Amino acid sequence: MLEGMGRRTTGAVAGVLAGAVALGVAELAAAFVRPESAPVEAVGAGVVRLTPAAVKDFAIRTFGAYDKTALIVGILVLLVPIAALLGMLAARRRWIGMLGFAAFGLLGVVAAAVQPDAGPLDPVPSLVGAVVGLGTLGLLLRTPDPEITPEGYERRRFLALAGASVAAAALAGYGGRALQKARFAADRSRAAVRIPRAASPAPPVPAGADLRLPGLSPWRTGDADFYRVDTALTLPQVAAETWRLTVHGRVDHPVTLTYEELLKRPLIERDITLCCVSNPVGGPYIGNARWTGVRLADLLREAGVHPDADQIVSRSADGMTIGTPTAVVLDGRDAMLAVAMNGVPLPIKHGFPVRMLVPGLYGYVSACKWLVDLELTTFADYDAYWVPRGYSAQAPVKTESRIDTPRDGARRPAGRVAVAGVAWAQHKGISRVEVRVDDGPWRPARLAPVPTADTWRQWVYDWDATPGDHVLRVRATDSTGYTQTGAQADVAPNGATGWHSASVTVG
């Protein structure tokens, strides 16, 4: 027994340290397999796969782009008391505590092995981490023979070993993460990419498409502000040099393309607004960018799509599956395999080297990032990732609008107030936006011009604001004559509806 430090405390400290060493060493080992094989990432990815869609929506709403960090931090925080308890158990009954530790190692091994895109080496980092962690625990808890040990030796030895464990865990952990980044980053590949000039340039953007009002989202969304939604805990690192796209299934001539071959095809450049089905009314998961890519319809016609193949299933390097109606891709719209965004090669988080885009469809049924495979099949034969999780197999974008300024809860002096925002109905186009103050009549807003029906449209309403509390509401009408419903619907199964509102105090 250590003087000044009870056996329980020693056990708890030893448990936490052994756990930290195990995870650190596993991160280091993962740098030699692949980042997704590290146990915390693998368990996290398993949690994401098993999480019901409703909980995922909640996480996206609550943590936004930080939902993955929140999950990883959550797992680590949960592990600390468990490791402490197992350490205390091990200090009493060595083998029982060790078995508990081994069980956690096994959890990592299994989680890594069952990933849909797992390689044969994926369980190795968890295994190596577990073995080294168990060794550390044994070393920390070993009691030297009291007969031959001088007083105070045991305490000094424990503290020295504990210090060494902290250092080893931090070094292996941080070093491992850094090495993972260095070894698997697609950054280098991306930096070498040159996108040829588009054969079909984007239709000119009319002057005044961006009203440039304070508080209003810019018409074109910069990369830093473009939302990101995906299930990837670690960004898939796909090098352009080794990228291959296979088009197969119900086609006459299956095709395999390299990145070089893709760039040799005529490129189109288009402004397209992309939005997420998980975007709540008034939410931020929408952005407008200039995309460059290859027309998907041409590629499909060359492959000879069978008339019965009503679904295109796109697959990503990380195992995501997305189902898109073949007829929509072939109906003449600018569906593309995109290679650039706002004039630069696709950022890694937006799908480098190649992603799909179909104007007018929500991202989960059209916009597969890190695309590697296109299978022509049928809706009857195959359910893509989100379908068994409670989302519709087909999901055109709903006509919606958002007030950007003034924000909900804002204060303004009485007089002229510019109420402004964006409205979208991709591939149909927005033909009218109206604003209502309190229970007053709907009044038309002024619409900014747009190059095509595939982008969102800015609007502004000059409000003569009178003192008091007011509620502003907005609704849009698309080119088919459909006016956005005020009925509130949840994001599941196929997109939220309702009027966005902002409460404003004037005076």
Does 316 contact ligand MTE by CB under 6 A? yes
Shortest gap between Cβ of 206 and ligand MTE (angstroms)?
Answer: 25
| Near ligand MTE in 248-287, by CB under 6 A | 274, 276
Quick count: other Cβ atoms within 10 Å of Cβ 64?
15
* CA-wise closest residue to 139 among 155, 157, 152: 157
User: Which residues, in sequence order, are CB contacts of 74 under 8 Å at separation 6+?
Assistant: none
Choose the one of Mo ion, ligand MTE, none that binds residue 259, judging by a C-beta under 5 to 8 angstroms depending on kind. none
- Quick one: tokens of 52? 């019901």
- Residues 30 and 237: beta-carbon distance below 8 Å: no
Number of residue whose CB is nearest ligand MTE: 363
First to last CA, the chain: 72
Number of residues this chain uses to bind ligand MTE (CB under 6 A): 18
Among 130, 229, 294, 296, binds Mo ion (CB under 5 A): 229
| Near ligand MTE in 353-412, by CB under 6 A | 363-364, 367-370
Choose the one of ligand MTE, Mo ion, none that binds residue 134, judging by a C-beta under 5 to 8 angstroms depending on kind. none
Between 265 and 284, how does the x/- string for binding to Mo ion read (CB under 5 A)?
-----------x--------
- Quick one: tokens of 357? 């885009």
How far, in Å, are 56, 76, 219 from residue 64 at the CA level?
Answer: 11, 20, 22
Shortest gap between Cβ of 146 and ligand MTE (angstroms)?
Answer: 58
* CA-wise closest residue to 330 among 355, 349, 304, 291: 304
Does 320 contact ligand MTE by CB under 6 A? yes
Quick count: other Cβ atoms within 10 Å of Cβ 268?
19
**How far is 133 from 329, CA to CA, in rounded Å?**
52
Does 350 contact ligand MTE by CB under 6 A? yes
Shortest gap between Cβ of 49 and Mo ion (angstroms)?
Answer: 16
* Part in contact with ligand MTE (CB under 6 A); list of ranges 183-191, 229-237, 325-333, 391-399: 229-237
* CA-wise closest residue to 375 among 322, 330, 452, 414: 322
Shortest gap between Cβ of 389 and ligand MTE (angstroms)?
Answer: 11
* CA-wise closest residue to 475 among 464, 465, 486: 486
20 versus 338: smaller Cβ distance to ligand MTE: 338
**How far is 236 from 457, CA to CA, in rounded Å?**
33
- Give the interface with Mo ion as residue ranges (CB under 5 A): 229, 276, 363-364
Q: Provide the binding-site residues for ligand MTE, judged by CB under 6 A.
A: 226-231, 274, 276, 316, 318, 320, 350, 363-364, 367-370
